[in-house]
Each structure stands twice: as structure tokens, then as C-alpha cells.
């Protein structure tokens, strides 16, 4: 059986502590060849934006020992994954799985629409590669150690998705094979250690943070080139976090996080409304349930919400 290849990206930038913790744990687990292609700097809330009309630079990056190749891209998270999958940057290699994160801050509910972390994973799913987005519900996590447990649990989910945990038959297709065109959106709770309940198969909630724009009279920092901050009659605003739209209905990702569960939510690429269930729904939920059950068992945790979507 050929050794699997895993591509790692994110939206916090290639030097962010979350991606460093994830890469280190993947290399330590030694279950796949690890490649990295991520933005050169902070690209949060870029959703699925891609760069058109200008060149993009892609440069070799210093990375954790054991990584096969790593590149920093002066583009968006989706750009980084698109470049890795659809250009000769990695000599046109194919990948068995793309993982994005670990993001600083959750990506539950409607935040998946804005998230560059999810956008990077979604780009992989658009190209037919199974993908997982990882986020930690802790905006104060600024050191690699803050992501240590999340990284261990991430790798357990990766191993389960690739069919590499004890008890998984290597002669059968890995669960990830049923997740092409799907993003597994994983959120780790801020309460970890002994307070961690387990892994929960959750639906997407409608929780989100509304903006609280503030107008400023003299704004430091970058502006769009088309409008200078000193242009007559120019008004300058800054987007701050405002009111929180809660959604604590049991079974949702926001509910799971608040109650100490790792939420795992399969996200489709399509957004249309239908009266009929998607033909692959049962297969996708079954594969996700299998991944959660096996990864939770590997980590000594409970599995919740299984097959209840």
C-alpha cells in the first residue's frame, strides 16, 4: 500500500503557532508524507477568495524537520491550496487528504461562510480531494503549546480518515474516500484536558458574531489604494466584534463546543434547497461517524451524536 500524502494549509499564515503544532504532530505520527502550502502571512476571514489579475509569488519556506516540501504563497488560503493541487509547484503530485488549520478561534455556525480556514479546505473539496478544517475556540492561543492537545486529536482524526488506526482494514477504501466533495469542519473547545467530553457529530448552527463598525477620524494602517484616508469627505471605519447571535440548540456545532465536545460537521459544497435528501447523505454521515468513533476511541474519548444528523 503506497504511503499517503497529506497537504497542510491554513489562513493564519505559515508561521502561525496553530499550523506549526499540527505539522509537528503529523510528522511525529509518521503516517503520511507531509507537504505544506500556506499563505505567507495573516489571511483570516478571506473565505474562498482567489487572486486574479496579478502574479503570485511562491517561495520555499523553513518548516518542521520531516516535512517533504513547504511553500509560502503571497495569496489567499484558497490560492495556496489551488496552487498546490493545480500547478507544478509539487511536481503535479496527488494528495490523499488536505488539512487546514489549526485556526486561532472557532469556525462554527455561519462563520464557515467567512472563514479562510474552511475556504482552504473547501478548495480541496472542489478539486475532489477529501478535506478537514481544524479550529480552536481560543482567540488567546498564541503559542504552539496552546494547540498541543488539539494537534494530537487532529492527527487521530486524520489517521481515522486515512484508515490508519488499529482495526481498520487496509485492503478496504479509507473513510476519506467517501468524503470527496465534502469538508469535515472540526472545532475544538476552549475547555480541554479533563473537561473534554469527546467528539460529537454535529450539524452546522446559525451562531455568528455581528459587526460593530466604529468610525475613526485618523486611521493608521493600510487602506485600499483607490481611496486615500485624507481624501476630502472620506469616512473611515473599523470592523469590531459586536453582538453575538447565539444558537444553543442541542446537536449543533456551537452547542457541542459550549458543552465541551469537539464538534465534527460534514459540509457540502452545494447550497441549494431541496425536498429530497442528497443521494450520498447516508454514506457521508456513515463515514463521518466511523471517523469520529475510531478517532475518539484512539484518544480515549466518548463519541456523541453518531448518525443523528
**pLDDT higher than threshold 70 for residue 307:** no
Do residue 174 and residue 76 come from a single domain? Answer: yes
- pLDDT per position as a tens digit, 127-152: 999 999 999 999 889 999 999 999 99
- Looking up residue 49, the CATH number of its domain turns out to be 3.40.1210.10
- pLDDT per position as a tens digit, 149-158: 999 999 999 9
The strand pair at 198-201 and 302-304 is best described as: parallel
Asked whether the beta carbons of 82 and 123 are under 8 A apart, the reply is yes
Cα 200 from chain centroid (whole Å): 17
Cis peptide bond upstream of 234, omega within 30:
no
DSSP H helix total and E strand total for the chain: 7, 12
**What global pTM score does this model have?**
0.92
| Domain residue limits at 240 | 208-245
Cell numbers describing residue 245: 447571535
Strand, helix or coil for residue 34: strand
Phi, psi of 209 (to 5 degrees): -105, 125
Do residue 135 and residue 191 come from a single domain? Answer: yes
- pLDDT per position as a tens digit, 178-228: 999 999 999 999 876 567 999 999 999 998 888 888 888 766 666 655 556
Do residue 185 and residue 213 come from a single domain? Answer: no
- pLDDT per position as a tens digit, 33-83: 999 999 998 888 888 989 999 999 999 998 888 999 999 999 999 999 999
Asked whether the beta carbons of 251 and 202 are under 8 A apart, the reply is yes
Do residue 154 and residue 85 come from a single domain? Answer: yes
- pLDDT per position as a tens digit, 224-283: 555 565 667 778 888 888 888 888 999 999 999 999 999 999 999 988 888 777 888 999
**pLDDT higher than threshold 80 for residue 119:** yes
Provide the sign of the torsion angle of the four alpha carbons 198, 199, 203, 208, taken in this order.
positive
Do residue 152 and residue 28 come from a single domain? Answer: yes
Do residue 66 and residue 183 come from a single domain? Answer: yes
The residue length of the chain stands at 309
Cell numbers describing residue 51: 487572486
Helix axes 148-161, 17-29, angle to 10 degrees: 50
How far is the C-alpha of 39 from the C-alpha of 78, rounded, in Å? 9
Measured torsion, CA atoms of residues 10, 3, 183, 263, in degrees rounded to the nearest 10: -80
Number of domains the chain contains: 2
pLDDT, position 63: 81
pLDDT, position 219: 60
Amino acid at each position: 500500500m503506497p504511503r499517503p500524502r497529506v497537504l497542510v494549509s491554513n489562513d493564519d499564515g505559515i508561521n502561525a503557532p496553530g499550523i506549526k503544532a499540527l505539522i509537528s504532530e503529523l510528522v511525529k505520527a509518521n503516517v503520511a508524507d507531509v507537504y505544506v502550502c500556506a499563505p505567507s502571512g495573516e489571511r483570516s476571514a478571506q473565505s474562498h477568495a482567489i487572486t486574479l489579475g496579478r502574479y503570485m509569488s511562491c517561495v520555499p519556506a523553513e518548516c518542521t524537520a520531516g516535512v517533504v516540501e513547504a511553500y509560502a504563497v503571497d495569496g489567499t488560503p484558497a490560492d495556496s491550496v489551488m496552487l498546490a493541487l493545480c500547478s507544478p509547484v509539487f511536481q503535479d503530485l496527488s494528495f490523499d487528504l488536505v488539512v487546514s488549520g489549526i485556526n486561532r478561534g472557532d469556525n462554527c455556525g455561519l462563520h464557515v461562510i467567512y472563514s479562510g480556514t474552511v475556504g482552504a479546505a473547501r478548495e480541496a473539496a472542489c478539486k475532489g480531494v477529501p478535506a478537514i478544517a481544524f479550529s480552536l475556540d481560543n482567540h488567546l492561543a498564541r503559542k504552539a503549546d496552546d494547540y498541543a492537545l488539539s494537534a494530537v486529536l487532529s492527527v487521530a482524526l486524520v489517521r481515522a480518515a486515512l484508515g490508519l488506526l488499529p482495526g481498520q482494514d487496509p485492503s478496504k477504501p479509507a473513510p476519506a474516500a467517501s468524503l470527496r466533495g465534502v469538508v469535515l469542519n472540526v472545532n475544538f473547545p476552549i475547555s480541554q484536558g479533563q473537561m473534554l467530553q469527546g467528539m460529537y457529530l454535529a450539524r452546522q448552527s446559525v451562531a455568528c458574531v455581528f459587526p460593530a463598525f466604529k468610525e475613526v477620524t485618523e486611521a493608521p494602517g493600510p487602506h485600499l489604494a483607490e481611496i486615500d484616508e485624507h481624501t476630502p469627505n472620506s469616512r473611515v471605519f473599523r470592523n469590531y466584534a459586536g453582538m453575538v447571535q447565539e444558537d444553543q440548540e442541542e446537536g449543533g456545532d456551537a452547542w457541542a463546543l459550549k458543552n465541551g465536545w469537539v464538534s465534527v460537521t460534514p459540509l457540502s459544497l452545494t447550497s441549494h434547497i431541496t425536498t429530497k435528501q442528497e443521494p450520498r447523505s447516508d454514506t457521508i454521515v456513515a463515514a463521518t461517524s466511523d471517523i469520529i468513533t475510531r478517532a475518539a476511541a484512539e484518544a480515549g474519548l466518548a463519541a456523541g451524536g453518531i448518525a443523528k444528523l
